[in-house]
Amino acid sequence: MKTDSSTYPSSLGDITVFRIENASGAFVELSTLGAGILSVNVPDRNGKIGNVALRYANPVDYYADDACMGKSPGRYANRIAGGHLTIGGKTYNLEINAAPNSIHGGPTGFQNRIWDAMLLADGVRMTYHSEDMEESFPGALDVSATFRWNEKNELSLVFRAVCDADTVVNLTNHAYWNLRGADSGTVLDHILKIKAGKWLPIDATHIPTGEIEDVDGTPMDFRVPKKIGRDINSDFPPLNIGGGYGQCWVFDDWQPGKFQENLVELRDECSGRILIMGSDQPGAQVYTANRVTDTPLNCSGRSYGPQEGIAIEMQHFPDSPNKLNFPATFLPAGEIYENHIVWHFSLLKYS
């Protein structure tokens, strides 16, 4: 495995970008700003290596971007209704940064911090210390994000965290994928499969209602592979609210701490590339970048537009601290939080 790093000065301090390349020439680029995935470069059906993760040309431009491009949000990824949560009988009021709710841990969150990093033989371990009451979350939290890249074109990410007080934690990565290439247009022709028979209905502010509904007979049914664009414009309330997909799916057969393979499959028949994801999390927030506009410039010198990528965020459910019927995101003082995510890139087989 070949490793290299580059440094980019910013107003926050130096940002380090690591490149990890396997024997086939496929490689990933990872940033200490927000524990971010900048690029994943894998072969297409003709053997040409290209980047399949949406990225900005300048690593400094990831700071405070609306899309949270490729970064790892926290302390609580996704939304918390009204910014309110109660722990041990005490209510904490988080900053409202997606009115009327809080999202991704607040306006700065983990995604806009520079993490410390240690280069590994096959990846990078990044660490961040979140102070007590940072973004109004209780407890001093130490978190690590360990990325590894292997010869099978698998990128793995393990989050671990421990806090000195009772708190809540929900971590994920917010990479956007386009298997045809990071500057190739929309993903509406990509074919998606999700191993989930249920999903979470939302209100007009994108907060789950608390109900868990079957996907049967709805545009939310991806148990049989179908093109992302097939039903995206259906007259269906959650699609109308978000202008496309932006909901959480509930994985079949989830058990706490159990890793499941082949939970999500994304494929592009034009390039021949396939992405298969596994995780130990109970759900995936799938977002087709419906509101992504006016981003920092990408490597082609233009901004990204709507639906040019798809984010598949393995995580616990939005607003879980306020929904007692959802899997808990409560982390007792001194206990270890863990979250495992694997992205496996391969190729379609042609006869």
State the catalytic residues: 174, 313
Distance CA 50, CA 300 (A): 14
Residues 6+ apart with CB under 8 A from 301: 57
- How many C-beta atoms lie closer than 10 Å to residue 8's C-beta? 15
Output the six-digit token pair for 72: 């790892």
Distance CA 91, CA 80 (A): 13
82 and 323 Cβ atoms separated by less than 8 Å: no
Cα 262 versus chain centre, distance: 17
Output the six-digit token pair for 203: 């209100």
342 and 104 Cβ atoms separated by less than 8 Å: no
Nearest to 240 by CA among 291, 204, 284: 204
Distance CA 245, CA 39 (A): 23
Distance CA 181, CA 49 (A): 10
Q: What is the DSSP string of 183-196?
A: TS--STTSEEEE--
Distance CA 322, CA 278 (A): 27
Residues 6+ apart with CB under 8 A from 283: 196, 200, 248, 249, 250, 251, 254, 314, 315, 316, 317
Distance CA 269, CA 277 (A): 18
